[in-house]
Structure 1
Amino acid sequence: MPAGKHRRARTPVAARALIATGTGALALALPMLSASGASATTLDQAPQTATDVATSAVPNVQLITYKTVVGDTLPKIAKKFPSSGSWQKLYTANRAVIGDNPAHLHPGLTLTVGTRTLKPATIKATPKPTTAKPSAAYANNLDGWIKQSLDIMARAGIPGSYDGIHRNVMRESSGNPNAINNWDSNAAAGTPSKGLLQVIDPTFQAYHVAGTSWNIYDPVANITAACNYAADKYGSIDNVNGAY
């Protein structure tokens, strides 16, 4: 999500941790796969009580960057940072910064050259009571997935509106629940953005909301986890007007 948005401090509902991707971003992706076979989540688990406490240790992933200087070439940088892979992979991950000619690097460019995992943070959260609701009440389409997510979010205390979710879904995946980004720096680091709201796996796991599927491509689970993340980082998905 872009800089400049106001973050509202809040107690996370599901286990939360900062999953840094350079700017704290979940990159948008191009829809690449068919939406056939996607289904809404059935909330069939027993309601939780206020005394149920979830504890988890989640990774804190951070991008490694390098600022180019006079005389730099992609092969030289790839050799200096072996985890970046070949110079071709380095170029693919940073093409938006470098431009169309990989042979000419301008001094002062900030390139993503790898990732590092910091000490995991152990986070405790007390979820609010939830009430199971059959998926038959929702249509198996984008409208139904958003409405089901909003009901789960309301019970869990996660802010967000239909318009805010729909606007971000259409920008991130064009409504394709199977969308995956295989070209940006997250993909180059091995954690491509996935699903309706283009979430990377570590963020989905950290912000997953109880009562939804653990399948990142599940549309309801993807929306709800992404809104949980947006609430923690920006106050609400309604405050997001660009790529995460």
Structure 2
Amino acid sequence: MPAQARRIALPRAARFGIGIAVTGASFALPLVTAMGAQAHTAPGAPAASVAQHTAAAEAKPAVPAAAFDSYRVVSGDTLTTIADAKQVEGGWHALYERNRSVVGANPDLIFPGQQLSLAADAAKPAAPAAPAKPAAPVTQSAAAAADTQLQVKTEAAKPGAQLQTQVQSAAPAKPAAPAPVAPAKPAAPVAATSGYVAPLANPVLGEAYGVAGSMWASGHHTGQDFVASTGTPLRAVANGVVVKAGNGGAYGNEVEIKLADGKYAQYAHLSVIGVKVGQTVTVGQRLGLSGATGNVTGPHLHFEIRTGPEYGSDINPVAYLRAHGVAL
């Protein structure tokens, strides 16, 4: 009897073509039963490997929970700005008490790299996080159904004809790209848009610049006084470098910084000095605390703007700050 063409159709969801030319050699074709054909993956790519590859590709790394109970100091930080930005209950005083062993005796001397505790119970060890559940393994049959479509076509050879089997493989679906994590928003800067601020918060003007009088060696007031009780935080009016930090005679404890435009800002009669000579400061950074040291009749801030680092090169500090957008 002549050989009959024989076709075995599988479901469309699992189509795969197999084509192998056989000439002059014996070839054994696996039998496909009427109960349903079982797909065999090509040598070198077993179904188990496909399953493992699919599971590894689709597994997403666990994102560690963000820690909100500590903060690492960066250049320009003060306890006040950190407490305001992180909304620490009790303000900078509470923040200082929690970190006295790190900061030391002077709350104005904090340095980049110091790790500060923000929460009152930050010292308590955190409960260990529950281990992540492993991804469910992908079975061999599931991987074969998801990644491979089979179509088996077998043709019995007529006399002199060749037996052909065609194999086609569908490309595996690409795993979905992980959703990007939005970066944390930085804390709002202390500086004004002009890059300058007043030498202290909520400034109230006192004795004006240029007032004549015999109490001053130059015959006039060389700076602008600001009303400030002892312990009021004083801040850099702009970016600069500290050129003086110590006792200034009649000025008492003083700090002077060279600003980026070449001018010099001097702060006098301080009760606490919070910076060192050579230190770079940023606009709004705390320099120390106001007081009544030196030749004074009461606590206040004596503030000067100079064209040079020494006494006698003063200019009107209020006019200078207003020219840079500071409201006084």
Q: TM-score under structure 2 normalisation?
A: 0.18
